[in-house]
Amino acid sequence: MTWYDSLAKPSWTPPPSFIGTVWTIVYPIIFVAYGYVLFRIVRGEIPWSVAVPIAINLAANFAFTPIQFGLQNLTLASVDILVVLATIVWSMIAIWPYSRWAVVALLPYLVWVATASTLQLGITWMNR
């Protein structure tokens, strides 16, 4: 965290404890919504193609922390979080015809990642 703390950040950057709290709330929502959809995919009720944006989203989401804090690569982390954001939208569009409640449940994830993307892009710009 010493490296991250030393970076220039937008004035509206929330404290790390707030960011952690938000993820603590959002991850169970992701698990339930995507888990329900994946369960229905496995049962053959939803086409396998709907799993593609979900898989890319989860892979990119889990890759962010090692990229940002392990590699300390702000540019790659920015690209990664934009992939996360785009695949949330893609997955929501793909899921909509099969489970509208799952799409609605994913709205906090979308809002948070849109906010985090803006923050990440700001940090990347300020530290170029």
pLDDT band (50, 70, 90) for residue 1: confident
Residue extents of the structural domains in the chain:
17-126
How far CA 54 is from CA of 4, 23, 32, 67, in Å, comes to 29, 18, 13, 20
Global pTM reads: 0.96
Percent of the chain with pLDDT over 90: 99
pLDDT per position as a tens digit, 92-108: 999 999 999 999 999 99
How far CA 74 is from CA of 47, 103, 112, 125, in Å, comes to 36, 30, 19, 9
